[in-house]
């Protein structure tokens, strides 16, 4: 079985805004220092990293000197997948600023081996995760209200992934829509994904909000209502070390987009 970690940097679809060069370059920096670091820290390394990029910012992403582990794809991965011929293909979605626990891919591989179907797609999902808000230096266990978050792995038999139209019909649909389709969906263990709120999150750009749109008061309120279980500093650092983070990265100030400008500091 072939494992792909499927990551979107920017994307050519109508719902995505035209992201400015500063955002793209900062996103690349975040991906390499945080997300890629967590992937290189995996205890199971038999996977390939696929970074999907759009045409609007191709001049920037093509000029960048990428790590040899990163496969930069501009055609939605069609040519890359066409060269694969394993019995099954496992594609795990991870955002370009989030983190995997050091054993996350190992867990995916173990569950995928016993749950894969010879004729249908199977979906695995991490529903409950760690939240790290770098703006307010807040770290805790976050129980998502969304019943079907995007941290999913789709396992395809060769008969499906070799048919691009058939593969595309489920690979590129929204995670919410997939939840309404009749597929086998298996839950993976909790706290194997860390959702990171950097100062330049895509959601803030997409919704026209600045970095402060998620207030510290809101985080504290969610903590009080049990939606988030906060960690103290010692436990938080140990947790983030398991996600491949160094103390230098943990203490680093994020680049914040606020009031129409970028600046460092919380």
What is the tens place of the pLDDT at every residue in 116-138?
Answer: 999 999 999 998 899 898 887 88
The CATH code for residues 2-264 is: 3.90.550
pTM for this predicted structure: 0.87
Quote the tokens at residue 160.
């499906």
17, pLDDT greater than 60: no
Domain residue extents for the chain: 2-264
206, pLDDT greater than 70: no
Q: What is the pLDDT of residue 212?
A: 40
Q: What is the pLDDT of residue 53?
A: 93
Mean pLDDT computed over 53-68? 94
Q: What whole-number distance in Å separates Cα of residue 266 and Cα of residue 145?
A: 27
What is the residue-averaged pLDDT of the chain?
A: 84
Beta strand pairing call for 261-264 and 255-258: antiparallel
Q: Determine contact, residues 96/35, Cβ cutoff 8 Å.
A: yes
Q: Which residue has the higher pLDDT, 256 or 112?
A: 112
Reported as type and span, the H/E element at residue 42 is none
């Amino acid at each position: 079985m072939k494992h792909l970690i499927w990551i979107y940097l920017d994307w050519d679809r109508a719902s995505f805004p035209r992201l400015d060069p500063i955002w793209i370059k900062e996103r690349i920096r975040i991906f390499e220092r945080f997300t890629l670091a967590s992937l290189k820290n995996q205890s199971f390394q038999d996977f390939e990293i696929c970074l999907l990029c759009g045409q609007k910012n191709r001049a920037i992403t093509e000029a960048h000197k990428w790590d040899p582990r990163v496969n930069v794809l501009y055609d939605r991965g069609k040519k890359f997948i066409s060269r694969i011929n394993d019995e099954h293909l496992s594609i795990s979605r991870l955002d370009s600023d989030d983190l995997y626990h050091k054993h996350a891919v190992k867990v995916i591989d173990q569950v995928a081996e016993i749950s894969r179907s010879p004729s249908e797609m199977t979906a695995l999902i991490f529903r409950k995760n760690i939240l790290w808000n770098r703006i307010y230096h807040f770290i805790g266990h976050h129980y998502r209200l969304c019943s079907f978050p995007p941290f999913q792995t789709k396992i395809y038999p060769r008969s499906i992934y070799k048919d691009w139209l058939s593969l595309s019909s489920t690979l590129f649909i929204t995670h919410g829509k997939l939840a309404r389709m009749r597929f086998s969906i298996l839950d993976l263990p909790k706290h194997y994904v860390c959702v990171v709120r950097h100062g330049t999150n895509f959601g803030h750009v997409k919704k026209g909000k600045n970095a402060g749109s998620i207030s510290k008061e809101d985080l504290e309120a969610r903590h009080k209502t049990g939606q988030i279980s906060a960690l103290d500093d010692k436990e938080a650092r140990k947790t983030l070390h398991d996600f491949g983070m160094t103390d230098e990265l943990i203490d680093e100030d994020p680049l914040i987009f606020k009031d129409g400008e970028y600046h460092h500091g919380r």
